[in-house]
């Protein structure tokens, strides 16, 4: 079983607070899959406005968390780490479905399967789960791009 703590995650993702949405990687196999999670705390900055009387994790942030997990998988698959010269950009989303709200106190499990990776473009089948129940799913695409 391959795991990653937050210190290793920071080597693979350029995101930082408040936009780092992966807390731990529980398992991964380069070229195949990753299973990570995000703890959803009432202290998240978006809960101030979404919604104060019923704190719901915005669906776009669920998709972003899945995309960040896919980014880690892409870096691991290519055997490289994040640097200031290149990034994986979230470039596509198909068949996104939101099945149940995610609220403060939940642990959002991110399941990403690499469908294919050709010339820096990855396609992934993803699911987000809480307590084993699918709360969101989508097919995502990312592209590696030089930024300098």
Which one of 50, 53, 111, 117 is the catalytic residue?
A: 50
Question: Is position 117 annotated as part of the catalytic site?
Answer: no
Q: For residue 91, how many C-alpha atoms fall within 13 Å in the half-sphere facing its CB? A: 12
Rounded CA separation 14/140 (Å): 19
Which residues are marked as active site?
50
């Amino acid at each position: 079983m391959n795991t990653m703590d937050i210190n290793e995650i920071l080597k693979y993702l350029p995101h930082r607070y408040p936009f780092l949405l992966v807390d731990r990687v529980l398992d991964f196999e380069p070229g195949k899959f990753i299973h990570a999670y995000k703890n959803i705390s009432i202290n998240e900055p978006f809960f101030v406005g979404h919604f104060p009387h019923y704190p719901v994790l915005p669906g776009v942030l669920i998709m972003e968390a899945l995309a960040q997990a896919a980014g880690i998988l892409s870096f691991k698959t290519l055997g490289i780490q994040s640097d200031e010269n290149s990034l994986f950009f979230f470039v596509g989303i198909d068949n996104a479905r939101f099945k149940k709200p995610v609220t403060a106190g939940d642990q959002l499990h991110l399941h990403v399967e690499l469908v294919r990776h050709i010339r820096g473009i990855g396609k992934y089948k993803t699911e987000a789960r809480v307590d084993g129940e699918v709360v969101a799913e989508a097919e995502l695409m990312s592209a590696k791009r030089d930024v300098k």
